[in-house]
C-alpha cells in the first residue's frame, strides 16, 4: 500500500512539474524563481524526461506499482504527463521561425552559404563539447576568479586571425560560473573556426559592484592584447552572455573605454564589434513591475550594497538602457516570453531604446513559451539560439569586411 501511495504522489508531482514547464504557474517575484527552478529542466529536456519516464513506468509496472485503484489513477496521470511533455518537445521544435525571422528581416533570406558547415550538436554531445574545444584555461586578470576557458578547434592555425567571441556567464551577479553555460553556442562557433573566451569573474556578496564589470573589461583588454597568440583577430571581438551575463555584456558593449570601470588599464581598448545579450537585465533603477522590488532589494543589499535613495547614479550608470548612444555596436537581443526571472518586457524596452538611439542594426528575437536560460542545454531552443547568433555574428563580420577600403586591406 505504501508503495502505491508513493506512486500516486510521484505521478501528481510529475504532472504539476510538466504543467509548470508548459506554462509557468507563478510568474512574478520570488515565486517566479521557484517556478523557473522547478520547470526549466523539464521544459528544455522534455524529450529526455519523456523517454526516461516511460522506461521508469515500464519497470514500475512490472513490479505492480500500477495495480489497484490508486495505481490505475497514477497511470492515467502519468499518461497525461507524457502527453504534456510531448507537447512541450514538439512546441520547442516548431520555434525555429522565432529565431530566424528577425535575421531574415535584417539580413535577408537564409542562403546556401549561410547554411553550410557543421550542425549544432544535440543535448548529449553538447554536454561533453568542452572536452573537444576547451584547449586551455588562462588567467586574464589579477584576481582569483579571473580565469578564462579558450575554446578553439585544435587544428586552427595560429596565424589565421579567427573571429573572437567573449562569453560572459550569468548567475545573478552572485555565481558567475563559466561552466556549463552557452555550450551549444561555444561549440558551434569553435567548430566553424571561431575562438571563444568564456570567463569567470568576481561575484557578490563577497565582491560589491563594480567588480563584475571591471573584470569583464579586464577580459576584453586581455583578449585585445593576447588573443593573436591563439590565432584570434583582436580587431574582431564580439561579446555575448545570458541573464546577468546579458547585463554585463550589453553594458560593456555600450561603455568602451569608460575609465571608472578600467582602473589601472584606463587606456586599454575594450570596444566590441557586436553584442548579443540573451534574456538580460537592462534596468537597475525601476522599482515597479514583475520582480522589480525583489531585484532592487538584492542590488541594494547584496550586489551594490548602497541605497538607491542616496546613490542613485551608481544604479543608473550600471543600467545598459541608460548608456545607449548613437555609437552603440550592432545588437542582437533574445528573450523568452515565459521568462519568470526577468520579464520579457525588459527585453522589449531595451530593444526599443536601442532602435531609437543607435545608428547600427538592432535585431530582436522573442521566443514564444521560452523560459529563462533556454539556450544552456543542447535542446531545440539551445540549437536554434546557437545557429541564430552565429548567423548574426558572421553577417556582422562580412559587413565589416565589405566596409574595409583597399588601403585598409593592404595594411
Is the pLDDT assigned to residue 26 strictly greater than 90?
no
Section 23-40 average pLDDT: 86
Looking at residue 408, its pLDDT comes to: 52
Section 288-299 average pLDDT: 92
Sequence-ordered list of residues with C-beta below 8 angstroms from that of 287, at least 6 positions apart, any chain: 293, 296
Section 367-388 average pLDDT: 93
**What is the overall mean pLDDT for the chain?**
91
Write out the H or E segment, with its range, that includes residue 84: helix 68-93
Section 183-193 average pLDDT: 93
Is the pLDDT assigned to residue 356 strictly greater than 80?
yes
pLDDT band at 354 (very low <50, low <70, confident <90, very high): very high
Percent of the chain with pLDDT over 70: 93
Q: In whole angstroms, what is the distance from residue 69 CA to residue 50 CA?
A: 24
Going from N- to C-terminal start, the domains of the chain cover 2-93, 96-410
Percent of the chain with pLDDT over 90: 74
Q: Which of 187, 372, 375, 381 is catalytic?
A: 372
Is the pLDDT assigned to residue 145 strictly greater than 50?
yes
Residue closest to 318 by CA, chosen among 260, 363, 373, 276: 260
CA distances from 131 to 135, 150, 229 (A): 8, 11, 21
Terminal CA-CA length for the chain: 81
pLDDT band at 208 (very low <50, low <70, confident <90, very high): very high
Which grid cell is 383? 540549437
Q: Which of 243, 250, 319, 379 is catalytic?
A: 243
Looking at residue 50, its pLDDT comes to: 93
pLDDT band at 4 (very low <50, low <70, confident <90, very high): low
- Residue 288 falls in the annotated catalytic set: no
Task: Confirm if 336 and 372 have CB atoms less than 8 A apart.
Answer: yes
Is the pLDDT assigned to residue 213 strictly greater than 70?
yes
pLDDT band at 259 (very low <50, low <70, confident <90, very high): very high
Q: In whole angstroms, what is the distance from residue 354 CA to residue 351 CA?
A: 5
Q: Which of 65, 338, 339, 375 is catalytic?
A: 339
Fold of 96-410: Rossmann fold (3.40.50)
Looking at residue 122, its pLDDT comes to: 63
- Residue 269 falls in the annotated catalytic set: no
- Residue 105 falls in the annotated catalytic set: no
The model carries a pTM of 0.93
Looking at residue 2, its pLDDT comes to: 63
Least confident window among 107-116, 233-242, 248-257, 287-296: 107-116
Least confident window among 104-118, 240-254, 286-300: 104-118
Q: Between these two residues, 116 and 18, which has the higher pLDDT value? A: 18
Compute the Cα dihedral for 337, 341, 343, 349 and give only its sign. negative
pLDDT band at 119 (very low <50, low <70, confident <90, very high): low
Looking at residue 411, its pLDDT comes to: 45
Q: Following DSSP, what letter does each residue of 192-244 receive, concatenated?
A: TT-EEEEE----TTTS-TTHHHHHHHHHHHHHHHHGGGGTEEEEEEEEEEETH
Is the pLDDT assigned to residue 124 strictly greater than 80?
no
Amino acid at each position: 500500500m505504501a508503495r502505491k501511495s508513493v506512486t500516486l504522489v510521484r505521478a501528481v508531482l510529475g504532472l504539476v512539474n510538466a504543467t509548470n514547464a508548459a506554462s509557468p504557474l507563478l510568474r512574478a517575484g520570488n515565486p517566479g524563481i521557484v517556478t523557473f527552478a522547478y520547470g526549466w529542466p523539464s521544459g528544455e529536456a522534455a524529450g529526455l524526461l519523456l523517454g526516461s519516464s516511460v522506461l521508469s513506468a515500464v519497470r514500475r509496472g512490472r513490479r505492480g506499482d500500477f495495480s489497484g485503484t490508486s495505481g490505475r489513477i497514477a497511470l492515467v496521470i502519468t499518461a497525461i504527463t507524457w502527453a504534456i511533455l510531448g507537447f512541450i518537445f514538439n512546441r520547442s521544435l516548431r520555434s525555429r521561425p522565432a529565431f530566424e525571422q528577425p535575421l531574415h528581416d535584417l539580413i535577408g533570406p537564409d542562403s546556401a552559404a549561410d547554411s553550410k558547415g557543421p550542425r549544432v550538436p544535440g543535448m548529449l554531445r553538447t554536454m561533453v563539447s568542452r572536452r573537444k574545444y576547451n584547449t586551455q584555461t588562462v588567467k586574464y586578470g589579477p584576481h582569483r576568479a579571473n580565469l578564462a576557458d579558450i575554446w578553439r578547434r585544435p587544428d586552427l592555425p595560429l596565424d589565421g586571425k579567427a573571429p573572437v567571441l567573449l562569453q560572459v556567464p550569468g548567475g545573478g551577479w552572485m555565481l558567475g560560473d563559466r561552466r556549463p553555460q552557452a555550450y551549444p553556442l561555444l561549440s558551434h562557433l569553435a567548430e566553424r573556426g571561431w575562438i571563444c573566451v568564456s570567463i569567470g569573474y568576481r561575484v557578490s556578496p563577497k565582491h560589491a559592484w563594480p567588480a563584475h564589470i571591471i573584470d569583464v573589461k579586464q577580459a576584453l583588454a586581455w583578449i585585445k592584447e593576447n588573443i593573436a597568440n591563439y590565432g584570434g583577430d583582436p580587431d574582431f571581438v564580439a561579446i555575448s552572455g545570458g541573464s546577468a551575463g546579458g547585463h554585463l555584456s550589453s553594458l560593456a558593449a555600450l561603455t568602451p573605454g569608460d575609465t571608472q570601470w578600467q582602473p589601472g588599464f584606463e587606456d586599454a581598448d575594450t570596444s566590441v564589434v557586436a553584442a548579443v545579450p540573451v534574456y538580460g537585465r537592462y534596468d537597475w533603477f525601476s522599482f515597479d513591475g514583475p520582480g522589480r522590488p525583489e531585484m532592487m532589494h538584492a542590488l541594494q543589499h547584496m550586489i551594490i550594497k548602497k541605497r538607491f535613495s542616496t546613490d542613485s547614479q551608481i544604479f543608473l550608470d550600471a543600467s545598459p538602457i541608460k548608456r545607449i548612444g548613437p555609437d552603440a555596436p550592432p545588437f542582437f537581443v533574445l528573450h523568452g516570453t515565459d521568462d519568470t526571472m526577468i520579464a520579457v518586457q525588459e527585453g522589449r524596452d531595451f530593444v526599443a531604446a536601442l532602435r531609437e538611439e543607435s545608428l547600427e542594426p538592432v535585431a530582436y528575437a522573442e521566443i514564444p513559451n521560452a523560459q529563462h536560460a533556454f539556450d544552456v542545454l543542447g535542446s531545440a531552443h539551445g540549437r536554434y539560439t546557437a545557429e541564430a547568433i552565429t548567423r548574426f555574428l558572421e553577417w556582422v563580420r562580412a559587413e565589416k569586411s565589405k566596409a574595409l577600403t583597399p588601403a585598409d586591406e593592404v595594411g
